[in-house]
Structure 1
């Protein structure tokens, strides 16, 4: 299954979150407040003290591959789309430089800061529909209807 709606111009937003804030929920609130319709993460630097991740081995039927991390971690990478049902992956490194990554389930508690640059494809609209083949709600990209 493929979903595409052509090119779009780009609008860029930047936001910084502070200690104790939950990153995924804060990003979703930022998107809602600004009524962004096709948002995605361009880049992020920062750190967290907690994270709940679904690993690559998990399936919709078997979600036993969920891990909960606690400690101090640098955000090495944060990528994804931020529509209502956000699809975000993260890679974190520990004090020894060892990395772990996966699908963000939530519980991303900011340690010192999280500086995030968000892009919005202003001519598009992102939604998610259940995909019977994958068993997950997958991205649907549509041209944005003009608002009157």
Structure 2
């Protein structure tokens, strides 16, 4: 029997955490530290609002052959969306709006320096455990979902 759960059979109780990051804090590393401190096994972002002064993102057209589609931004942005999972290899996508309301988004690589605030609500699927394994079809580490009772 495979450890991977069929997509139609994944369910879990939910725990919710709220936190606020202040000016100068780096959002990704702060979230990963939060997850580690609380030993969360299946954490994910429920919502986030705030602002950043920098961001490093991988753009949508990255592939096995072309992983260098990266943009390093340095200006004030509003966080208009942040979604993803936060296991040891976080998989987050962000959408940022500049002073004219133009948006840019991509896969978070880091360098998300908080400008004024980042107000986050983090959920944890209490009955599940998230890990990542290399998927030969995509060339990227992809989400593996397991029931906690199956964990060693």
Give TM-score, length-normalised by structure 1.
0.95
8 Å contact from structure 2 (residues 5, 145) kept in 1: no
Distance 1:67 1:3, change over 3 A: farther
Distance 1:61 1:3, change over 3 A: farther
What's the CA shift for 1:85?
Answer: 0.3
1:117 aligns with 2:121: yes
Q: Unaligned stretches of 5+ in structure 2?
A: none
Q: Is the 8 A contact 1:31 1:82 kept in 2?
A: yes
Question: 1:54-100 deviations in whole A, cap 9, x for unaligned?
Answer: 00011133123100000000000000000000000000000000000
Question: Which protein is richer in helix relative to its size?
Answer: 2
Does 2:89 align with 1:85?
yes
Deviation at 1:138, TM superposition (A): 0.2
Contact in 1 for aligned 2:51/2:78 (Cα 8 Å): yes
Which residues of 2 match residues 36-51 of structure 1 at below 5 A? Answer: 36-51=40-55
Q: TM-score, normalised by structure 2?
A: 0.92
Which residue in 2 is equivalent to 1:99? 103
Q: Does 1:108 align with 2:112?
A: yes
Of 137, 140, 143, which aligns to 1:133? 137
Q: Does the 8 Å contact 1:3/1:139 carry over to 2?
A: no
Q: Are 2:16 and 1:17 equivalent residues in the alignment?
A: no
Once residues 60 and 139 of structure 1 are traced to their aligned partners in structure 2, the CA distance between those partners, rounded to angstroms, is 17
Aligned length in residues? 147
Q: Distance in 2 between matches of 1:20 and 1:42?
A: 22
